[in-house]
Amino acid sequence: MEDDVRIQKAKSVLLAKKSELNSRQVSRDDIAIERNAEVLDEIQQHADRTLALDTLTRRFRTAALVAEALDRVDDGSYGTCANCEEPIPEKRLDAIPWAKYCIACQEIADKSEGDIDLREAA
């Protein structure tokens, strides 16, 4: 019962995040390449562009995680670590409702750049 409430709450947070991520358009200026003779400006622009692409990449990743989390809400596995199948601590889900792994498995995933099969790595 209490779990249900929590999962419904998580679901609404996830749906809100999903529409937020979908609605935010990438501004053309974010990735535009402007010609400029000044070398320093070019370096700055390159840095800006890299940052913009970084932000984009992160946004796509989060969007993918949010979508996966919503799938897990639907199939009833939400809140369970996708690797070790232990429950993900409530505090972690409060902070990151789309968390896919428990903290220990997340650390392994971070070290291995995320998407490798953790079962084989372990």
Looking at the Cβ atoms of 14 and 105, the one nearer to Zn ion is 105
Residues 6 or more apart whose Cβ sits within 8 Å of residue 105: 81, 82, 83, 84, 118
Choose the binding region for Zn ion from 6-14, 17-25, 83-91, 110-118 (rule: CB under 5 A).
83-91
CB of 78 to Zn ion, least distance (A): 14
CB of 95 to Zn ion, least distance (A): 16
Binding residues for Zn ion, total number by CB under 5 A? 5
Q: Looking only at residues 84 through 103 of this chain, which bind Zn ion when binding is defined by CB under 5 A?
A: 84, 102
Binding Zn ion by CB under 5 A: which of 10, 73, 81, 109?
Answer: 81
Q: How far is the CB of 121 from Zn ion (least distance, A)?
A: 12
CA angle at residue 100 from 94 to 106, to 5 degrees? 95
Of these, 83, 97, 100, 109, which contacts Zn ion (CB under 5 A)?
83
Give whichever of 17 and 100 is closer to Zn ion, judged by the CB atom: 100
Q: Is 105 in the site for Zn ion (CB under 5 A)?
A: yes
The 3 state secondary structure assigned to the chain is CHHHHHHHHHHHHHHHHHHHHHHCCCCHHHHCCCCCCCHHHHHHHHHHHHHHHHHHHHHHHHHHHHHHHHHHHHHCCCCECCCCCCECCHHHHHHCCCCCCCHHHHHHHHHCCCCCCHHHHC
Q: Which residues bind Zn ion (CB under 5 A)?
A: 81, 83-84, 102, 105
